[in-house]
């Protein structure tokens, strides 16, 4: 696959990172996109990447997703984008297709939480919450509102990041990530997503990661079964295909977009 579609129209992709990450994690994909003539906007959600907000002060999904909502709200009236979300960024995509379905050509979930109403039921939590207990005590948890209050942010300890997040990724990318990962806010993910009447009109694609140690394959399959997308791709990748298999991920993104004539 050449990565360059026929015709003069180019797609606009908007990508959303997962917990603890930021716009920086998409640098390889953005380079491939721009080389092929597409536009890719890489957003930092609130408290992530270079956004200055303290993640321990972010308590709602509305607050956490504010940068994405602002971006979509400011799009010209007749312009649509292709949303791509990784890991917990899938919650951001689902929130967006409930709130801004008329702004979105397609939502592409990459090793991501694809839960129609977020983490609102026990089944949602079973399907979408990572269980890292087999690796030991891997989490640094902060109690920004005091030790007697629920936790406010979480981060995977640096010594476990390569093993869990980047087990098939180049060492230099794992090192870069270890220098840039921030604690992720926890409180927002307790919010239930309120369904919009047109959400199911937005085509959804799921990209499975077969060697994922965060969102296990059976969890990905369960979410696909419960809320079926119109297309599923499979990557022989760890949880972070933007590092481990960037060219293949790039090709799948273009193929998915072409399948509904977004490009």
Residues assigned a catalytic role: 87, 212, 239
Q: Within its chain, how far is the Cα of 49 from the centroid?
A: 14
Axis-axis angle for helices 171-180, 158-165 (nearest 10): 130
C-alpha separations of 253 from 14, 30, 37, 114, 250 in Å = 11, 12, 14, 17, 5
Residue of 240, 258, 230, 225 whose CA lies nearest to 17: 240
C-alpha separations of 210 from 32, 91, 219 in Å = 23, 21, 11
Decide: 66 and 46 in contact? Cβ < 8 Å: yes
- Residues contacting 200, CB < 8 A, separation 6+: none
Nearest-angstrom CA–CA distance, 56 and 22: 16
Burial class (CB in 10 A: 0-12, 13-18, 19+), 171: exposed
Decide: 109 and 206 in contact? Cβ < 8 Å: yes
The DSSP output letter for 45 is P
Nearest-angstrom CA–CA distance, 112 and 223: 9
């Amino acid at each position: 696959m050449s990565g360059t579609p026929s015709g003069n129209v180019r797609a606009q992709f908007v990508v959303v990172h997962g917990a603890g990450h930021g716009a920086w994690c998409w640098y390889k994909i953005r380079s491939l996109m721009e080389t092929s003539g597409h536009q890719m906007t890489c957003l930092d959600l609130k408290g992530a990447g270079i956004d200055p907000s303290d993640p321990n002060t972010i308590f709602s999904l509305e607050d956490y997703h504010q940068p994405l909502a602002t971006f979509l709200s400011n799009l010209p009236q007749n312009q649509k984008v292709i949303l791509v979300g990784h890991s917990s960024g899938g919650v951001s995509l689902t929130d967006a297709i409930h709130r801004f379905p008329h702004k979105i050509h397609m939502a592409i979930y990459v090793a991501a939480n694809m839960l129609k109403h977020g983490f609102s039921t026990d089944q949602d939590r079973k399907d979408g919450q990572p269980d890292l207990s087999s690796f030991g005590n891997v989490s640094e948890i902060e109690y920004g509102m005091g030790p007697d209050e629920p936790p406010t942010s979480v981060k995977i300890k640096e010594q476990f990041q390569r093993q869990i997040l980047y087990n098939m990724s180049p060492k230099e990318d794992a090192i870069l990530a270890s220098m840039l990962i921030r604690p992720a806010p926890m409180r927002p993910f307790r919010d239930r997503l309120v369904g919009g009447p047109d959400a199911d009109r937005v085509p959804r694609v799921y990209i499975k990661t077969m060697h994922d140690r965060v969102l296990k394959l059976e969890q990905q399959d369960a979410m696909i079964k419960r809320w079926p997308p119109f297309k599923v791709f499979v990557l022989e990748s760890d949880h972070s295909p933007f590092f481990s298999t960037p060219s293949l991920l790039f090709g799948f993104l273009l193929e998915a977009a072409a399948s509904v004539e977004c490009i």
